Amino acid sequence: MKNQIMLQTPPMGWNSYDYYDTTVNEDQIKANADYMAAHLKDFGWEYIVVDIQWYAYGAGTRRDKYQYIPFGKVEIDEYSRLIPCSERFPSSAGGNGFAPLAHYIHKLGLKFGIHIMRGIPRIAAHTHGKLMGTDKTANEIADPGSVCSWNPDMYGVIPGVEGAQEYYDSIIELYASWGVDFIKCDDICRMDVPSAKQEIVMLHKAIKKCGRPMVLSLSPGPALIHESWHYSTYANMWRITDDFWDDWKYLLPMFERCEIWQNHVSEGNYPDCDMLPVGMIGKGFGQERPTRFTREEQITMMSLWCMFRSPLMIGGELTLLDDWTLKLLTNKAVLKLLTDSEGARQLWRDDHHCLWLSHDKTDETQYLAVFNLSNEERPILIEADMAGLSSFCGLTLTELWTGKSKSLEEKDMSITLPGHGAAIYRYHP
Amino acid sequence: MKNQIMLQTPPMGWNSYDYYDTTVNEDQIKANADYMAAHLKDFGWEYIVVDIQWYAYGAGTRRDKYQYIPFGKVEIDEYSRLIPCSERFPSSAGGNGFAPLAHYIHKLGLKFGIHIMRGIPRIAAHTHGKLMGTDKTANEIADPGSVCSWNPDMYGVIPGVEGAQEYYDSIIELYASWGVDFIKCDDICRMDVPSAKQEIVMLHKAIKKCGRPMVLSLSPGPALIHESWHYSTYANMWRITDDFWDDWKYLLPMFERCEIWQNHVSEGNYPDCDMLPVGMIGKGFGQERPTRFTREEQITMMSLWCMFRSPLMIGGELTLLDDWTLKLLTNKAVLKLLTDSEGARQLWRDDHHCLWLSHDKTDETQYLAVFNLSNEERPILIEADMAGLSSFCGLTLTELWTGKSKSLEEKDMSITLPGHGAAIYRYHP
Amino acid sequence: MKNQIMLQTPPMGWNSYDYYDTTVNEDQIKANADYMAAHLKDFGWEYIVVDIQWYAYGAGTRRDKYQYIPFGKVEIDEYSRLIPCSERFPSSAGGNGFAPLAHYIHKLGLKFGIHIMRGIPRIAAHTHGKLMGTDKTANEIADPGSVCSWNPDMYGVIPGVEGAQEYYDSIIELYASWGVDFIKCDDICRMDVPSAKQEIVMLHKAIKKCGRPMVLSLSPGPALIHESWHYSTYANMWRITDDFWDDWKYLLPMFERCEIWQNHVSEGNYPDCDMLPVGMIGKGFGQERPTRFTREEQITMMSLWCMFRSPLMIGGELTLLDDWTLKLLTNKAVLKLLTDSEGARQLWRDDHHCLWLSHDKTDETQYLAVFNLSNEERPILIEADMAGLSSFCGLTLTELWTGKSKSLEEKDMSITLPGHGAAIYRYHP
Amino acid sequence: MKNQIMLQTPPMGWNSYDYYDTTVNEDQIKANADYMAAHLKDFGWEYIVVDIQWYAYGAGTRRDKYQYIPFGKVEIDEYSRLIPCSERFPSSAGGNGFAPLAHYIHKLGLKFGIHIMRGIPRIAAHTHGKLMGTDKTANEIADPGSVCSWNPDMYGVIPGVEGAQEYYDSIIELYASWGVDFIKCDDICRMDVPSAKQEIVMLHKAIKKCGRPMVLSLSPGPALIHESWHYSTYANMWRITDDFWDDWKYLLPMFERCEIWQNHVSEGNYPDCDMLPVGMIGKGFGQERPTRFTREEQITMMSLWCMFRSPLMIGGELTLLDDWTLKLLTNKAVLKLLTDSEGARQLWRDDHHCLWLSHDKTDETQYLAVFNLSNEERPILIEADMAGLSSFCGLTLTELWTGKSKSLEEKDMSITLPGHGAAIYRYHP
C-alpha cells in the first residue's frame, strides 16, 4: 500500500517559497541548484522544489493586493493540465514543460520537485476542457463548491466520477515524463473540504501507476492526528503545522506538535515541521530580510526538527547563505540524526524546558536534546531516571553543536542554557 | 433607512419553485398569473415570482444528477448581467428581458417578482466581463472564495471595492427597467459567507437609487436572530427556515421559529415562514404529487403563518388547484389577520399544544389560535388568565375556519382538536 | 402568564455588589437606603438590593484566594432554606430573617430586594435536610451534577421531581413573609445547565402563588436571544451581558447587545444592561476606587441605558456620591426616557458612531441619541431621512444633558462629540 | 518517567462491572477468583478487579431511579479515604480494608485490582475531613466545581494546592498496604474537566512513591488522541472508547478507534478497548442475559482486541461461563498475539472489510487478520502486495480460530467470511 519509493530517511532540500513567494524563475532555480550541488549535496541535501504558481502569468505583480491574482492567465495544455509559464521558465516553451530544468538538476546529482494545488484549473471547468484518457471533460469532474480558501486557481475533483482518476493519472504521468521526483500537493493535508481525503488516494494511485518513484508531500497543516493512518498509508510526508515562519510564536507550539506526532515517524512516513526560514527570506513577499530568529532559536529549531526526524527544506535563498547559517545546515553530527537515529520521544515538557531522547541505530549511543523554552537563561536539571539511566555519573557526553565533550560526575545532569536555546548530547549509556 | 416601499401588509403571491423547480417557462408563468387574476386577486394575492435559474440553458435536463448543472450555459448581457434564457422566455429575445412578461402581469393587476442569486456570474469573472458605470471588470469585484454551497452559478461580490456597488446598481436598474416589483435574493440570508451581510446593504442601496419600489426578500434561512436589526433595516422579508416542504417534521419546528421571531414583525418587516406547499407540487423535481400534508396540517400551517403574519407564497401550481385548497387560500376571515391584526405572541407551547394571541387593529376583537401539536386528538384547556381575561364566561367566540360561533359558560375554555389540527377564535374580550 | 406585578417602568435602585462584593452588612444597607430616601427617591430610585452571600459566615475574609469560600459555613433554617448570617445582619437573629431590614426600608418609602443563587444549598443535600410542605428531603431534589461554575454554595433542583416546586415555593413564601419586593436570581439566566430553564418557571410559579408582588430579575448574562420568549414570559428582567464594569471594553459591546434586544423591551419586560459602576466602587474586591469611566463614558452609558430602557441599578456606594455623579443620576429629562418613552430603535451603527431614536408617549416629541464610538472627537452628520424626517430645518432641539436648545437651519444635522461621548436631543418632529 | 511496573504484555483479567454493576460482594469476588485460578490462570488471565462503589451502602438498591444513589452513605476512614462497605465486604471490617480479600486472591496466584473515582469524597469536603500527612483539610483541596457528570460521589482535587498530592499519596499508600496490584481510575481519561490531566500525574507520582508496583488504568474513553504522550508517560492503559457493550453498533467503531491508536501500543502502554461482554452479563443492571453478540461477532472482537494488543478484561460472570465462551477465551494461538506479537497495523479498511497485519517477535511468522464488516457473507480478496508479499503462492497459512492450515496456490488470497466474522492467519512469509 505504501508509495513505491520507500524513503529511508526524511527528505532534505530547498524550496523556493520563503524567499521568492510566487515569483521564482528558471535562472533562480538553477542558481540555487548549483549552490546546493557545490556546498550542500555532500551533507545529504538533494531536493530542489519549485513552489506555488509556476504556471501563472504575472505572478507576484499585484502583490500589494493579492498573493494570487484571481482569474489571472495560466498556462495550460490541451488536456486541462497546468504547464510552466514560459515567461519565467523559458526552457519549458514548445511543450517541454519542466523536462529541461529537471534534466539540469539531475545532472547536478540532485532531485527535482514541484508544488501543485489540489484539483483541476477552474478555467478548464468553465471552458469544458478535454481530459486525457477519457471522453469526459473538465466540467464533469470539477466540483464547483470545492474551492481553496486562500488560492483561486482550482476546483477540487469529485471522487468516484468517471474521469476523476484519469485526470490525476494524466497530471502525474506528465510530471513523470518531465522527471519530477517530488510532489508537494497543497490545499489537501488539512482536509478543509471532505473530498481532499479521497484526492490524496487518487494522487497515490496515480503515482503508483506512473512508473517513476515520487515523494508525495501534503500541505498545509496542521494535519489531523486522527487521520494519521490515512496519511501514512497514502503519502510520504504531511505538514503538522500551518505555514511556519521566523518568530518564536510559531516555534514554541512545534514542541506540542512534535509531541503529538512522535509515534508516527517511520520509514517512508515523515510528519513535516515545514521549511526552515533561515538566511535571507521574504523577497517575494516585499520584505527581503535576514531571518528574525536568533541564533539560539535556529539551533533550537534544527535540534527539534532533527531529533523528531522531520523532513528538512531550506527556505532561505541559498546563494545568499552566510557562513554561520551554512554551518548550521551542515553539521554532520546533527544531520546524522535524520539518517541513523530512531525512537525519538519527548521525555518531559513544561513551560520552562523540554527534553527529547532517541538512540542511534548504528551503535549503542543515545541522543538527549535539551531545550530552554523560557525567555531567560536558566539551569536545567535532568534526572538520570528520566533518561532511563541509573546515573549519568561516569558517562562522557558530547554536545553536537559545539562538539565539546565532558565527563559527568554526578548522578543527575545539570546544564545551563540561554533563553530559547538548545543542546543535543550524545553518549554511550 | 427603510426601503422606499413600506409594505403595510405581508406580501401574498405565487412562486414557481415548489412545482417547477428550475424549469418554469413563460407560458406557465402566464397561466398562473391568469389564474391568480381570476380567482385569487380579490383576496389579496398579487405577486407572481419566477424562481431560480431563469437565465440557464437546459435547466432541469440533468435532474438525475444535478439540480443546477455546473458550468452550464447562461444568458448574459454585455455588462455581466444575467438575462432570461430566451428558449424558455421567448418574449425576452432581442434584449427585452422580462419587460414583456412583467407588462403582461401588470395588465392583470398583479405584481412581478424574480429570484436572483447573490453575486456576479462566475463566467463573467473568468472572462473579465465588463461592468456598467465603471471601468472595473468582473474579475476585479468577484471573490473567488465566495461561492454558494449548493448552486454553482455565481461568485460573491467583494464589499467596498470599486465597481461592486456599481454592479449591484446595474442589475437593479435593469430589473427596474423591466418592471420588477419583487426581488428574492438567494444565498444571502443565512450569511453563510461573511460578505453576505454587506451584499444585503448593497442591494438595499441599489433599490433606493433605482427609483422603482421593490420588495427585497432574502433566502435561504434560517435567518440569524442576532442579526434581526440588519435584516429589518435593509430588507422587507427574510426566511426564518431552510426550504420548507410538506412534512410534519418541517412544520412542527416552525412553532419554535415563530416564537423566536415574534417580536420582529412590523410594518415593512416580515420574517418569512417560506412557501405553502399545497395543491400539486414537485413536478420539476421529478415527483409531481399532491401535497403530503393532511388537511389538518394545512389548516395548522395557514393558521400559524397568518397569526404570525408571515408573507404568503403559494407553492402549488395554480391551474391545478382543487376546491378545498382554493378555499383554504381564500378564507377572508383568516386572511384578515395579515392585514388587520397586530401584536401576535405565543402564549404557551409544550410538546402537546400551542397557543397564540393577537388583536385586530380595526376593532376591539382578539384572535386566539389553538394548535394540537401531538399526533392524536386531544382536549385542550385554555385558562382565561392565559389570554389575559378574568373569564371566558359570557364571551361569544367565532372559529374562523368553520365560521361557527359559540357562547362560553365557563371561566376557562376547553376544546378538542384532532392531531396536528388548529383553530382560530375571534371574540370581543 | 406574566408575573403579578406588571412593572410599568424599568426598576431603578441600588445594589450592594459593585462596592461591597460579598461583605455588605445591615448598617451599610441602611445607610445606603437613608441616602436614597433623602437624595434619590424623588427621581424615581426605589430599590435597595442586598447582593450575593448574605447567608455566608466569613464572606470576603479569604478574598486573597476565594471570592466565595468553598464549603464554608452558611446560615440555614430547618427547611433547608438559607437565611441571613446574623453576624452581619443582627436584626435577623431569632428567626426574623430580613423582615426587620425590609421594614426599615419600606418605612423610607423604598423597596427591598435580595440576591439568591439558583438551587438548594449543597450542605442541605448532603445532610438530607427537610423541605417544607413535602415528605421529600433535600437529597431527593438536588441534582449532584448541576453546579454553578463560579460559586460553590448550591446544587440545582431537578425539574419535575416531587418536592422541587415545593422547595421553590417555600423559599419564595419565606421571602414574601419578610417583605421582599425584588429577587435577583443568579446562575440561571445564561442557562449554563439545562435545568435552569425550568427553574425559572418554578420561581415564576412560586411568585405567582406567594401573594406578594415581586420582581424577578435573572443573572448573569449574556441572555440567549433565542430564548427571549421564555424570559419575557417568566421573568421581568434578564441580564444581556456578563458582569459589567468600568472599562470601555465592556461599554462598547453594549451597543451591539442593545441592538440585538431592542425589540424585546415592553411593559413588565426589561432586558437588563447591568449595574452602573459609578462613583466609588470596588472596596469589597480589595480595590476601592472611583469609577475608571471618564465623564463622557458615563454620559454615554446613562444615555444608552435610558434610551434602551434598561433597568438602572447604581453600583457605587451612595454615601460617597460626589456632586457630578449625583447630577448624572438625577437628570429628570433623561430619566423621563425610562417612564415615558417607547419604540426605541437603533438607526445606525458603525465603528465610528451610533444613533438611536425613540418617542415620548406623553406628547409628540422624539428622542434622538447620538454616540461617538471612536476614541477621538469627531463631527457626525445625521441625515434627516435617517430619523424619518424630510428635514431638520426649522426644528428646535434640546440636548438633555446640557439642557441647551438650538434651532436648526439645515436639512441635515451636524454635531461634534468628544471621543466616547454622547448627546440626546428632544424635539417636536 | 514510566511507572515502576513495566508491563511487558497487556493485562488480562476479570472485572465485576458487566455482570454486577455496583452490587458485587466478597463471596462473588472470591467465586470468580476461584474459577479463574482453576480454569483461566494457565492461559495468562490473572487480574481480579472490583469495580465501582465498593464503598457505598445500599449500592444498587435504587436501580429503578439511580445507578449511583446521590448523597448516599459511604464508608470512609479518618483521613477522608473511602474504604470498603463492610456490609458487602465483611472481611474489611475493623479497618482491614481489602487486605484480606487481596490476600485470598494472591494465594490463588492471581492479582487484585480496584476501581476508584477521580478526586476526594464530597462528604469529606463538606465536613472538612482530615487528610493524612498534612494539616490541610479536605475542603481546602476539593474543587467544588469539579464534579463527575455521571457519578455523585467525589469532587476533583485542585492541582498544586498544599495537601493535594498528600491526599493522593495517602490513598495509594492505603491501597498498597492492602496489596492492590491494579487501579482503574474513572472520570479521568477523557479529561472532562481540566484538572483531570494533572490528577493523572498525581496518581502516577503516588504510585511511584508507594513502593508497590501497580498498574494504572484510566477510564472512561474515548481518550484524546492528541494527549497520547500524556497517557503513555503517566499511565499503563487508557480507554479508547466509552463503555463498550454487546451490540454491533459499538463493535464496528472499534475498528476506527484501533486505527487511530495503532501507533501507541508499546511495552507498558496499552490503549484499552474495554471489557469483553461475553457469557452471562447484566444482572446488576436488572437484565441478566447471555451476551447479545453472535459467535461471529465475539470472534471478531477477540481477534481485533488481540491483534491490537488491547488489555483483556472479561465482563461476564466466570462461574457461569459456557464451554464455547471458555474456549473463545483460552485459545492459546490467539492469546499468543498479546505476548509475542508486535507492529500491528491496519492494512485496509472500507465499509466492507478490514485487514490487520502484525508479526511474531519469537520467530519469522506473520499474522494477518481479516474482518468482514458487512452484514452478509462475502468473499474477500487480499492482494499479496498489501501484506508486503510478492505472492501468497506456496505459503502455508494456519487459521488460529479453527486451527486449520492450507497451502495457497495463487498470487493473491481469496477467502469467504460470514457477516461480522473474522479469521486470523499465521504464516512464514
| Residue range A372-424, pLDDT digits in tens | 999 999 999 999 999 999 999 999 999 999 999 999 999 999 999 999 999 99
- Above pLDDT 70, what percent of chain A? 99
Determine the distance in angstroms separating the CA of D350 from the nearest CA of chain C, rounded to an integer: 39
pLDDT digits (tens, 9 = 90+) for B229-258: 999 999 999 999 999 999 999 999 999 999
In Å, how far is C221's CA from the nearest CA of chain D? Answer: 19
Cβ atoms of D29 and D54 closer than 8 Å: no
Taking CB atoms and an 8 Å limit, are A144 and B152 in contact across chains?
yes
- Contact at CB, B126 and A123, closer than 8 angstroms: yes
Number of neighbouring beta carbons within 10 Å of residue A76: 16
Asked whether the beta carbons of residue B262 and residue C1 sit closer than 8 angstroms, the reply is no
B123 CB within 8 Å of a chain A CB: yes
Partner D contacted by A228 (CB < 8 A): yes
Contact state of C225 with B229 under an 8 Å Cβ cutoff = no
CA separation (Å) from A235 to A111, A238, C207, C239? 18, 7, 66, 53
Q: What is the pLDDT of residue D1?
A: 38
3-state secondary structure of B232: helix
**Are the CB atoms for B366 and B358 separated by under 8 Å?**
yes
Fold for domain B12-330?
Answer: TIM Barrel (3.20.20)
Q: Please report residues of B whose CB lies closer than 8 A to that of C262.
A: 229
**Residue-level pLDDT at C7:** 87
Confidence of residue D378 (pLDDT cuts 50, 70, 90): very high
Question: Do the Cβ atoms of D264 and A260 come within 8 Å?
Answer: no
Residue in the block written with cell 430547618? C78
- Taken as a whole, chain C contains a residue count of 429
Which residue among C126, C147, C150 places its CB closest to the CB of D147?
C147
Contact B67, B59 (CB under 8 A): no
What is the per-residue pLDDT for C4? 44
Query: Stretch A239-262: mean pLDDT, rounded?
Result: 98
pLDDT in tens, B378-401: 999 999 999 999 999 999 999 999
Q: Give pLDDT tens digits for B265-287.
A: 999 999 999 999 999 999 999 99
Helices vs. strands in chain D: H and E counts, helices first: 12, 21
Q: Is the pLDDT of residue A3 over 90?
A: no
Is the pLDDT at B1 greater than 60, yes or no? no
Residues D294-347: tens digit of each pLDDT: 999 999 999 999 999 999 999 999 999 999 999 999 999 999 999 999 999 999
pLDDT tens digits, residue range D228-255?
999 999 999 999 999 999 999 999 999 9
In whole angstroms, give the CA distance from residue D164 to residue D158: 7
ipTM confidence: 0.94
pLDDT at A335: 98
Q: Which CATH class is domain A346-427?
A: mainly beta
* Strand, helix or coil for residue A137: strand
Tell me what the pLDDT averaged over chain D comes to: 96
Contact C228 B1 (CB under 8 A): no
> CB contact, 8 Å: B142 with chain A?
yes
- Positions in chain C short of pLDDT 70: 1-6
What residues of chain D lie within 8 A of the CB of A260, using their CB?
226, 228-229
Query: How far does Cα C142 stand from its chain's mean position?
Result: 28
Contact assessment for residue C182 and residue C14, using Cβ atoms and an 8 Å cutoff: no
Per-chain mean pLDDT for chain B: 96
pLDDT tens track for D53-79: 999 999 999 999 999 999 999 999 999
Interface test with C, best of D62, D64, D71 (most C CBs within 10 A): D71
pLDDT > 90: percent of chain D? 98
Q: Binning pLDDT at 50, 70 and 90, where does residue B3 land?
A: very low
Question: Which of C1, C228, C347 has the CB atom closest to B263's CB atom?
Answer: C228
Residues of chain D in contact with residue C125, where contact means CB-CB under 8 angstroms, are 70-71
- Do the domains B346-427 and B12-330 match in fold? no
In sequence order, the β-bridge partners of residue A215 are: A182
Residue spans of the domains in chain B: they are 12-330, 346-427
**Tens digit of pLDDT for each residue in A6-61?**
689 999 999 999 999 999 999 999 999 999 999 999 999 999 999 999 999 999 99
Mean predicted confidence (pLDDT) in D350-357: 97
Q: How many CA atoms lie within 13 Å of D151's alpha carbon, on the beta-carbon side?
A: 21
Q: In 3D, which of D284, C1, D268, C34 has the Cα closest to residue B385?
A: C1
Q: Do chains B and D touch (3 or more CB pairs under 8 A)?
A: no
Is the model's pLDDT at A317 over the cut of 90?
A: yes
pLDDT digits (tens, 9 = 90+) for B311-362: 999 999 999 999 999 999 999 999 999 999 999 999 999 999 999 999 999 9
Assess whether chains D and C touch, using the rule of 3 or more C-beta pairs within 8 angstroms.
yes
Query: Band of the pLDDT at B7, cuts 50, 70, 90?
Result: confident
Quote the cell numbers at residue A175: 510530471
- Looking at per-residue pLDDT, the higher value among A121 and D4 belongs to A121
- Identify the pLDDT of residue D3: 42
D chain contacts of residue A385, beta-carbon cutoff 8 Å:
1
From chain B residues 385-414, the ones with a CB under 8 A of any chain C CB are 385-386
Whether residue B4 is predicted with pLDDT greater than 50 in this model: the reply is no
CB-nearest partner of C226 from B260, B347, B386: B260
Query: What would the mean pLDDT of A76-90 be, rounded to a whole number?
Result: 98
Find the DSSP H helices in B15-98: 17-20, 26-35
Nearest-by-CA chain C residue for D145: C149
Chains A and B touch (3+ CB pairs under 8 A): yes
Please give the Cα distance from C311 to C273 (Å, whole number).
7
Nearest to C147 among D128, D142, D145 (CB): D145
As a whole number of angstroms, the distance between CA D404 and CA A243 comes to: 54
Beta bridge partners of B49: B15, B113
SS3 category, C311: coil
Beta carbons of C52 and C44 less than 8 angstroms apart: no
For residue D19, pLDDT over 70 is answered with: yes
The answer to whether the CB atoms of D263 and A225 lie below 8 A apart is no
**Identity of the residue numbered C44:** G
Chains in contact with C via at least 3 Cβ–Cβ pairs below 8 Å: B, D
Across-strand partners of C215? C182
Assign D194 to helix, strand or coil. coil
- What's the grid cell of residue C423? 448627546
Identify any residues that bridge with C423 across adjacent strands, giving them in sequence order: C370
Provide the pLDDT for residue D5. 55
